């Protein structure tokens, strides 16, 4: 198993901007965590690492989210950075949840991940990459044969067209190598900013913020932004964090969204960052019930990768058709 390349990140400049207020009470939000416990039961202190969030105690500092005077932009930035630090301690092993061995495989897997789970993509790509290991091979694929291989990921005709098109473009315009620049990546068929940032951040070590459905939902719940448009979300979040944090921040937020802060039933009662969250109470607050909502390693289930990084604490996911 290859080492995950996600750890490698470029350093960048910090960019905190001022001036925008949210409706969150500053006092309540910015001093919340004295007596909180993590889901593991371990007390949370400022700057103290969390070991895991596998099971545990209710987050008790929801009262911290009392309405007060509007939170200043600076206070929101501080709170956002603190959430990021907490997430780094809760998910020290956060990583891209697509299996890949090189930039081309990550690009293909990311295109396939639209409208399906990373697990389903990971179960599909081993046979796909065995049949078409390079852009040249995939560009020359018989469409119907490629479609059949990627059928489990849904929208397989459109995705096959994108894969053949992007492979041909890589072959014809980039010497057979996936380009490492955003401006070039977005010229490939089926590749937008989200896909380009995934590839840049995880295959090239270029910092990027990936605004997928989880990321957008969580940053709005945390009042880091009220934008809906992914490009505007990306720009506003980029102004809150230093570049060096962008890629890992993206993974941590997505990990939290998949495991705890779900779209329909966020497990607020088992959420270790509840004291910092202005949306505490949007989901289940009863600790027992909330724990039952936890997914993947938090809920005793394997993660999405068949070949996870060595430090991943859960079990690898099963291949397609293996129960
Ligand atoms: S909405 Fe609930 S689960 Fe999501 S981050 Fe806030 S407290 Fe945690």
pLDDT at 65 over 70: no
The pLDDT score that the predictor gives to residue 321 is 78
Q: Is the CB of 267 under 6 A from ligand 1?
A: yes
Instruction: Name residue 37's beta-bridge partners.
Output: 43
Which tens digits make up the pLDDT trace of 173-227? Answer: 999 999 999 999 999 999 999 999 999 999 999 999 999 999 999 999 999 999 9
Q: How many Å separate Cα 111 from the centre of its chain?
A: 15
Q: At what angle do helices 118-131 and 143-150 cross, to 10 degrees?
A: 140
Instruction: Name residue 70's beta-bridge partners.
Output: 25
Task: Determine the topology of domain 103-203 in CATH.
Answer: Endonuclease III; domain 1 (1.10.340)
The pLDDT score that the predictor gives to residue 320 is 83
Residue of 261, 275, 293 to test ligand 1 pocket, by largest number of atoms within 8 Å of CB: 261
Asked if 44 contacts 59 with a C-beta cutoff of 8 angstroms, the reply is no
Q: Is the CB of 53 under 6 A from ligand 1?
A: no
- Determine the atom of ligand 1 nearest the C-alpha atom of 271: 8
Q: Is the CB of 61 under 6 A from ligand 1?
A: no
pLDDT at 270 over 80: yes
Tokens of 191: 């590749």
Lowest-confidence pick of 6-20, 145-159, 173-187, 309-323: 6-20
Which one of 212, 265, 289, 295 is the catalytic residue?
212
Q: Is the CB of 273 under 6 A from ligand 1?
A: yes
**2 vs 191, residue with greater confidence:** 191
The pLDDT score that the predictor gives to residue 287 is 97
Domain spans of the chain? 26-95+209-299, 103-203
Lowest-confidence pick of 44-53, 88-97, 130-139: 44-53
Q: What is d(CA 197, CA 192) in angstroms, rounded to the nearest whole number? A: 9
Q: What is d(CA 167, CA 140) in angstroms, rounded to the nearest whole number? A: 9
Q: How many Å separate Cα 156 from the centre of its chain?
A: 24
The pLDDT score that the predictor gives to residue 322 is 72
- Span 295-312, mean pLDDT? 91
- pLDDT above 90 as % of the chain: 74
Look at residues 172, 101, 167 and name the one whose alpha carbon lies nearest to residue 138.
Answer: 167
- Span 107-119, mean pLDDT? 96
Look at residues 132, 58, 50, 56 and name the one whose alpha carbon lies nearest to residue 91.
Answer: 50
Binding residues for [4Fe-4S] cluster: 261, 268, 271, 277
Give the Å distances, CA to CA, from 289 to 54, 278, 286: 14, 21, 5
pLDDT at 252 over 90: yes
Q: Is the CB of 138 under 6 A from ligand 1?
A: no
Known catalytic residue at 14: no
Q: What is d(CA 42, CA 300) in angstroms, rounded to the nearest whole number? A: 19
- Span 96-109, mean pLDDT? 97
- Determine the atom of ligand 1 nearest the C-alpha atom of 62: 7
Q: What is d(CA 267, CA 80) in angstroms, rounded to the nearest whole number? A: 20
pLDDT at 17 over 60: no
What is the pLDDT of the chain when averaged over all its residues? 83
First-residue to last-residue Cα distance in the chain: 23
Known catalytic residue at 159: no
The pLDDT score that the predictor gives to residue 3 is 34
Lowest-confidence pick of 62-66, 75-79, 244-248: 62-66
The pLDDT score that the predictor gives to residue 323 is 55
Binding residues: 261, 268, 271, 277
Which tens digits make up the pLDDT trace of 131-171? Answer: 999 999 999 999 999 999 999 999 999 999 999 999 999 99
- Span 63-90, mean pLDDT? 87
Q: Does CATH number 3.30.310.160 belong to domain 26-95+209-299?
A: no
């Amino acid at each position: 198993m290859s080492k995950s390349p996600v750890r490698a990140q470029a350093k960048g400049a910090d960019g905190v901007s001022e001036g925008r207020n949210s409706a969150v009470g500053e006092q309540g939000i910015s001093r919340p965590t004295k007596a909180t416990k993590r889901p593991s039961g371990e007390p949370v202190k400022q700057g103290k690492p969390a070991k895991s969030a596998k099971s545990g105690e209710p987050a008790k500092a929801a009262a911290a989210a009392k309405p007060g005077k509007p939170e200043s932009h600076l206070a929101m930035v501080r709170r956002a950075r603190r959430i990021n630090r907490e997430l780094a301690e809760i998910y020290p092993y956060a990583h891209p949840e697509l299996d890949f061995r090189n930039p081309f495989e990550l690009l293909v897997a990311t295109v396939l991940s639209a409208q399906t789970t990373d697990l389903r993509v990971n179960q599909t790509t081993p046979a796909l990459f065995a049949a078409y290991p390079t852009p040249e091979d995939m560009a020359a694929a018989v469409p119907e044969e490629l479609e059949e291989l990627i059928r489990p990921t849904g929208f397989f005709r459109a995705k096959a067209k994108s894969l053949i098109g992007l492979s041909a473009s890589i072959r014809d315009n980039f010497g057979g190598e996936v380009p490492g620049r955003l401006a070039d990546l977005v010229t490939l068929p089926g590749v937008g900013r989200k896909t380009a940032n995934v590839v840049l951040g995880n295959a090239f070590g270029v910092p990027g913020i990936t605004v997928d459905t989880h990321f957008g939902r969580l940053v709005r719940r945390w009042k880091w932004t009220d934008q809906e448009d992914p490009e505007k979300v990306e720009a506003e979040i980029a102004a809150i964090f230093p570049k060096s944090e962008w890629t890992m921040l993206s993974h941590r937020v997505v990990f939290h969204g998949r495991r705890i802060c779900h779209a329909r039933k966020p497990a607020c009662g088992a959420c270790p960052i509840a004291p910092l969250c202005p949306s505490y109470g949007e989901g289940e607050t009863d600790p027992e019930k909330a724990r039952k909502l936890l997914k993947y390693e938090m809920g005793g289930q394997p993660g999405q990768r068949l070949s996870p990084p060595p430090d991943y604490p859960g079990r690898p996911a099963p291949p397609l058709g293996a129960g």
